[in-house]
Amino acid sequence: MHQQNNYDEINTFRSVSARRLDWVKAKVVEEGISLQSVHGTDFAAAYLKSAKIDLDVAVRVLAHPQERRHYAVQ
């Protein structure tokens, strides 16, 4: 029983950690989008590259705004 609780705690931690990483990346991508509107696409692309955002994500959000993810405000 105790061993199962340890596994549950580890899996919960991994799940929360993975989501936290995704939210951090989401904030970086949002910043890149803001930079695009002020400084242009090349500048925003360089920012996202320096932040190690996947190329496919950077292309999607900068070149295809209609394909951006939209998050509900809570």
Residues with Cβ within 8 Å of residue 55, at least 6 apart in sequence: 49
User: What's the average model confidence in pLDDT over 9-32?
Assistant: 72
Phi and psi for 51 in degrees, rounded to 5?
Answer: -90, 5
Q: Which has more pLDDT, 68 or 7?
A: 68
Q: Rounded to whole angstroms, how far apart are CA atoms 10 and 68?
A: 32
Identity of residue 51:
A
Q: Is the pTM of this model over 0.85?
A: no
Residue 32: per-residue pLDDT = 97
Does 25 score more than 80 pLDDT?
Answer: yes
When the pLDDT of each residue in the chain is averaged and rounded to a whole number, the result is 80
